[in-house]
Copies of this chain bind each other. A is one copy, B any other.
């Protein structure tokens, strides 16, 4: 099936030159005479020659490949669950990274790893030399694993804690986003009591968002009751279950449920609907991320917009700068901004009519 690919030796022979000359033609060295170059080019075309990037990478020590590692999700019994959850956010980043990498001539090597992976971070470690640099998403590497990787390869952490000094970090401005969200809820909607739907506890983004919520609440003199902090796992399905339990448990609901991401907001709204609660009339719900679907939900979701693809692109830019030895800030924080729609109570009457 797969026929033997021609090498520069084949090209050299056909063109009647040495391999060095073929290599020079490949790399646009200007010291080649036009006649010679043409001869080589013709031979390459006739043989349908494509240079072997692996060999090239080995000899030049540069592969033109960036690695992107993300958290491995073990396959669960219910396959639908696997598909349903933790998608979107990571995916948009993958796309953003791929696009920016391609723009700079790099391909992207995808690698799932992390504590839930049967081999831990071994996949990542093994590919270290196949890759010119790593972009690693939140939760893949523990704090003490970071130096181990960054010692050998330039490393950018995404959505990480932002405290490593052996790697670069690109993160979103959780604080600013939550702060404007709380301000809006307090000043426009008079919210006094806040609930929080938590992502996985260890996640730096989750930690930052909860802390930001507490800080903002304190500044506005409003409260976040510990009983209204719902432990969850970033997923819609999880949020649906946890919200139902919470609703059974609590008689006295807060004014708003601030969710750490959009997926969980979707699940929460669904669970509330099932109990006969209407959003935002009975309780407001907000998200974080502004995934594409957020504006099409009923009610349309009020959320904090972050551009995941821009974050992916930024991570690539930081990594390339680091690889080039240019000075780069240790931590890059990308702006987020409040995206007001209906689930906070704004234009609520329109929702009533439409539904």
A interface vs B, CB < 8 Å? 1-3, 5, 50-55, 57-58, 63, 65, 72, 75, 79, 82-85, 87-88, 91-92, 94-95, 98-99, 102, 107-112, 123, 125-130, 150-154, 236, 266-267, 269-270, 273, 292-293, 296-298, 307-310, 322, 325, 354-355
Number of chain copies forming the complex = 2
Task: Provide a sorted-by-A list of 24 A–B residue pairs whose CB atoms are within 8 angstroms.
Answer: A1-B150, A1-B154, A1-B322, A2-B151, A2-B152, A3-B152, A5-B129, A50-B129, A51-B126, A51-B129, A54-B54, A54-B58, A54-B129, A55-B58, A83-B92, A85-B292, A87-B88, A88-B91, A98-B110, A107-B130, A108-B110, A273-B354, A297-B298, A355-B355
Q: Judging by beta carbons under 8 Å apart, are B107 and A107 in contact?
A: no
The 10 closest A-B pairs by CB, nearest first: A355-B355, A91-B91, A298-B298, A84-B292, A108-B110, A52-B129, A53-B130, A266-B296, A54-B58, A54-B57
Q: Judging by beta carbons under 8 Å apart, are B53 and A129 in contact?
A: yes
If A83-B307, A87-B88, A108-B109 are given as contacts, then 15 extra A-B residue pairs at C-beta distance below 8 Å, sorted by A number, are: A50-B128, A53-B126, A53-B127, A53-B130, A54-B54, A72-B102, A79-B307, A82-B309, A87-B91, A87-B92, A88-B88, A107-B111, A108-B110, A273-B354, A293-B293
Chain B residue numbers with a CB within 8 Å of A236 are: 292-293, 296
- Which of the residues B55, B107, B109 comes within 8 Å of A123, measured between beta carbons? B107
Q: Judging by beta carbons under 8 Å apart, are B267 and A296 in contact?
A: yes
Chain B residue numbers with a CB within 8 Å of A50 are: 125-126, 128-129, 152
Chain B residue numbers with a CB within 8 Å of A1 are: 150, 154, 322, 325
Q: Judging by beta carbons under 8 Å apart, are B95 and A87 in contact?
A: yes
Chain B residue numbers with a CB within 8 Å of A267 are: 296
Report how far A137 CA is from B266 CA in the complex, Å. 30
A340 to chain B, nearest CB (A): 15
Closest residue of B by beta carbon distance from A70: B98
Q: Judging by beta carbons under 8 Å apart, are B112 and A110 in contact?
A: no
Report how far A88 CA is from B273 CA in the complex, Å. 25
A346 to chain B, nearest CB (A): 17
Q: Judging by beta carbons under 8 Å apart, are A151 and B3 in contact?
A: yes
A74 to chain B, nearest CB (A): 10
A220 to chain B, nearest CB (A): 30
Report how far A156 CA is from B111 CA in the complex, Å. 21
Chain B residue numbers with a CB within 8 Å of A57 are: 54
Report how far A153 CA is from B355 CA in the complex, Å. 54
With A53-B129, A236-B296, A293-B293 known as contacts, the answer to whether A109 contacts B112 (CB < 8 A) is no
Closest residue of B by beta carbon distance from A273: B354
